[in-house]
Structure 1
Amino acid sequence: MALVACGAIAQPAADAVARHGWAVDVHPLPPLLHNRPERIAGEVERMVGELRSRYDRVAVGYADCGTYGALDAVCDRLGVERLPGLHCYDLFAGPPTVESLTTDEPGTYLLTDFLVRSFSRTVIHELGLDRHPELRDDYFRHYTRVVWLVQTSDPAEQAELRTLAHEAAERIGLPLEVRHTGAGGLDRALADLLAERA
């Protein structure tokens, strides 16, 4: 089986595959597609088409991810399933937790382990803040906090990422909160996805 995965969750998905011994090959798409979500559905369709002749089954390792239903339309047309949820935060923390975080404080900017690691590239560079720091308020004026949803359970990795998470929050001038979610939510979602046609 092939899993066409969002680049932002491809490594955690591959880790889950290895942990559980699933017969799945993970094929990532570029994580920077999240900055252009209108391209996600088309890129998923292209890769599913490329992989279909090589695998007995292809599934999609994306939530909706800002496609506003366009990805679901592609999945329906191609007869493939995708991961549940509106975005990867739902996969890690669960929809009720994400809804609570954003309802309690609507100006919540969420980070995953991937986004903490790649913040300089995927946010600072891609938004041009490294070249035009004066744009910070234009992008982040309405945010009030950063919440890092911690997936890793490795203490050394947590320590390294904590430093990067604090740096990320400081770069956009917001306080940091840390919530430990673990990787279980993604594992369960993948297990359900793999079982849909078992």
Structure 2
Amino acid sequence: MKPDNTELTEIGLAPFGGKGRILLLACGALAHEILTLIKLNNWSHMTLTCLPANLHLYPERIPAAVEVAVHKHRTEYDEIFVLYADCGTGGLLLDMCNELGVEMLEGPHCYSFFEGNEAFAETSEDEITAFYLTDFLVRQFDAFVWKPLGLERHPELRDMYFGNYEKLVYQAQTNVPELDEKARRCAARLGLKYERRFTGYGDLETSLQKVSN
């Protein structure tokens, strides 16, 4: 079952081999973070391949894209771990992973697992007026926020989209001053207060540590 109008080209980013190989099938928005963790922990038995990050703009297409990739690689690896949270699929991705017999990340979305699912669940109701960015989304703000909403052509729509938000929370995975400054500019462009919150890799890292054993 191939999703219509979805580019399924995978990006093999960490072609490590070895006995007992594990394939990490991930969202392209997590590629930089996963590669960093692989290198830091010397997980040479893991291979990373990514589906396009822009699938996040079409969450209904994610389950079928994951299904195609799992079937493609199943015989090549001892284990496949899906590095997506629910990501707006309404439980359909979890159902697909259960049907395929593969595990996936826990949590509703990357903002939750970067902060830690338990911690995010405790604070999310109090931050209903917060708009979140990760390292990836700060880097790709125009491509994944500004342009998809049509704000480069119609900046007057900004308040319609963001009028109910009060602050932009930058969930920083790394301590990079340039990203901090860019996130501040993103908040200013959206007319929101700015808060930087260092999360590190959160449950992404702890989940990979469990898989690596």
TM-score, scaled relative to structure 1: 0.90
Distance 1:68 1:14 in 2: 28
Write the letter of the residue equivalent to 1:17: I
Residue 93 of structure 1 is aligned with which of 112, 115, 133? 115
Residue 107 of structure 1 is aligned with which of 119, 129, 135? 129
Residue 130 of structure 1 is aligned with which of 152, 155, 172? 152
Following TM superposition, by how much is the alpha carbon of 1:130 offset from its aligned partner in structure 2, in angstroms? 0.6
Checking the alignment, whether the CA contact within 8 Å between 1:101 and 1:108 is kept in structure 2 is no
1:16 matched to 2:37: yes
Distance 1:152 1:36 in 2: 27
Distance 1:101 1:120 in 2: 28
1:31 matched to 2:49: no
Deviations along 1:132-173, one digit per CA (max 9) or x if unpaired, are: 1122122212111110111114xxxx2100111011111111
Write the letter of the residue equivalent to 1:136: R
Following TM superposition, by how much is the alpha carbon of 1:184 offset from its aligned partner in structure 2, in angstroms? 4.5
Checking the alignment, whether the CA contact within 8 Å between 2:27 and 2:50 is kept in structure 1 is yes
1:152 — aligned with what?
Answer: 174
SS of equivalent residue, structure 1 residue 149 = strand
CA-based RMSD: 1.4
SS of equivalent residue, structure 1 residue 63 = coil
Instruction: Specify which structure has the higher proportion of strand.
Output: 2
Checking the alignment, whether the CA contact within 8 Å between 1:83 and 1:190 is kept in structure 2 is no
Distance 2:127 2:38 in 1: 35
Deviates more, 1:71-80 or 1:88-97: 88-97
1:117 matched to 2:135: no
SS of equivalent residue, structure 1 residue 110 = strand
> Within 5 Å, which residues of 2 pair with 1:34-113?
34-113=56-135
Distance 1:101 1:134 in 2: 31
Deviations along 1:74-94, one digit per CA (max 9) or x if unpaired, are: 101110000111111122111
Deviations along 1:19-66, one digit per CA (max 9) or x if unpaired, are: 112211111111111111111111111111111132222110111111
2:181 — aligned with what?
Answer: 163
Following TM superposition, by how much is the alpha carbon of 1:110 offset from its aligned partner in structure 2, in angstroms? 0.9
Deviations along 1:152-197, one digit per CA (max 9) or x if unpaired, are: 14xxxx21001110111111111110111112532111122344xx
Write the letter of the residue equivalent to 2:187: A
Checking the alignment, whether the CA contact within 8 Å between 1:82 and 1:193 is kept in structure 2 is no
Distance 2:169 2:119 in 1: 12
TM-score, scaled relative to structure 2: 0.84
User: For structure 1, which runs of at least 5 residues remain unmatched after alignment?
Assistant: none
Give % identity. Answer: 43
1:179 matched to 2:197: yes
